Amino acid sequence: QVQLQESGPGLVKPSGTLSLTCAVSGGSISSGHWWSWVRQRPGKGLEWIGEIFHSGSTNYNPSLENRVTMSVDESKNHFSLRLIYATAADTAVYYCARQGYASLSPSLDSWGQGTLVIVSS
């Protein structure tokens, strides 16, 4: 069973860069799935940030695409998120997730436990 684990700094300075990595275990990142980042601001709902395929193809949420970059490292079996010009509004729990195969409509069938990132000086 695939497992995902987010890692990265828990504190980012305003105007700085938020960088997170999601390590995939129990399966290969090159297995044909799309891999997503989702965030949840304190007390709020789920916001999808974007997704990446092992080839490097990406789809981003238009609301964030001018600040977001995702990358994948097949040799390390992990993928990463980079969000520039961070503000307090980017304070959130960040989840990585995997798009499943079972559904006709894209769904996220495996999730990391999430990591809290606070943007503050």
Instruction: Please give the Cα distance from 119 to 17 (Å, whole number).
Output: 10
116 touches other proteins (CB under 8 A)? no
Instruction: State the CB neighbour count (10 A cutoff) for residue 6.
Output: 21
Tell which one of 10, 42, 55, 62 touches other proteins (CB under 8 A): 62
Per CB under 8 A, does 66 bind other proteins? Answer: no
Task: Examine residue 57 and tell whether it contacts other proteins (CB under 8 A).
Answer: no
User: Is 29 exposed, middle or buried, given 0-12, 13-18 or 19+ CB atoms closer than 10 A?
Assistant: buried
- Closest contact distance (angstroms) between CB of 73 and other proteins is 23
Phi, psi of 55 (to 5 degrees): -75, -15
Residues in touch with other proteins (CB under 8 A) = 36, 38, 45-48, 51, 59, 61-62, 95, 100, 102-109, 111-114
